[in-house]
Homo-oligomer: A and B are copies of this chain.
């Protein structure tokens, strides 16, 4: 039905009375007089011409495909993946999304299979940022990693999260409220906004006079509920729980409910990653939010910035914003004994 044949470069060249080569250069503004360029552009415009991305890809050697690889189980990352794909689309790039489901093996596998697909860029939300397989990706394929720098690939750029700030702010907030014993629930896999957070938390906590008990937890709500429950049964259970991820925090709510603890009365809960639902649960979750759009733009920008822009190995740091809501308060019994 859509009658008109797609115009080709040759058509434009003919109309302009130029060679294919000259036309190609002119359209891209690489060569030719200003006048010629304008004329060619005008004709292209009139013809509704746009270069076939595939032919261009074949000739130029880049595919226009970017892979988004990593752990995409949780809602936050899932949203990020969609936003990334969108942002790439704006640059006329298509995306290949591969969730590796938290498994380094699958991550390695996916990376290998990507080689065949001729992607010319990878945005990673790495499951295992210290794995050596990252170095096996052909060096002309740029990698931008989000959340953690890839140790095996120092020349790749990364978008990092200012965990020190986040953890510091969180602990300070709890300390100010009068808490003395805080539980920290970190995702079991080392990848999350806040990986070295466990270590940080210990030392920062010390300096504030806080006892920080670290425990790891699955990212799923149910798994987190169990992990939280374990932390809450001890004789000297913490009066606050800092959860590195809202899903974990939701699990903590559930655990608290199951154990008959009121939030925030008996237990303060602090989340991370401000999900759409953080303000839905009752009490509304105090958490940290990110400027996701800025993160996405930074990642895509790093990937598409011209080759030599000297940002090799560059790192950008994003700082979470503290969002005080209702799930944290002063502890009812400063040093809660068992219940």
Residues 63-95 of A, flagged 1 when their CB comes within 8 A of B and 0 if not, give: 101000000100100110110011001001011
Interchain CA distance A138-B5 in the complex, whole Å: 11
Chain B residue nearest in CB terms to A139: B1
Q: What number of copies of this chain does the assembly contain?
A: 2
Q: Do the beta carbons of A136 and B2 come within 8 Å of each other? A: yes
Partner of A221, one of B2, B82, B257, B279: B279
Q: Is the CB of B65 within 8 A of A86?
A: no
Q: A94 near B65 (CB under 8 angstroms)?
A: yes
A138 touches B2 (CB 8 A): yes
Of A53-61, A286-294, A296-304, the one contacting chain B is: A53-61
Q: Chain B residues with Cβ under 8 A from A2's Cβ?
A: 136, 138-139
Q: Is A11 an interface residue (CB 8 A)?
A: no
User: What band does the interface of chain A fall in when counting residues whose beta carbon is under 8 Å from B?
Assistant: 35 or more
A118 within 8 A of B: yes
Neighbouring B residues of A82 by C-beta, 8 Å: 72, 78, 81-82, 97, 99
List residues of chain B with CB within 8 A of the CB of A139.
1-2
A96 in contact with B97 (CB, 8 Å): no
- The yes or no answer to A253 lying at the interface (CB within 8 A) is yes
Q: Does A41 sit within 8 A of B, measured CB to CB?
A: no
A116 close to chain B: CB less than 8 A: yes
Q: What 12 new A-B contacts, CB under 8 Å, besides A54-B54, A89-B98?
A: A52-B118, A53-B63, A53-B116, A54-B57, A54-B63, A85-B97, A94-B95, A94-B117, A95-B97, A220-B276, A221-B279, A250-B280
List residues of chain A with CB under 8 Å of any chain B CB: 1-2, 50, 52-55, 57-58, 63, 65, 72, 75, 78-79, 81-82, 85-86, 89, 92, 94-99, 116-118, 135-136, 138-139, 220-222, 247, 250-251, 253-254, 257, 276-277, 279-282
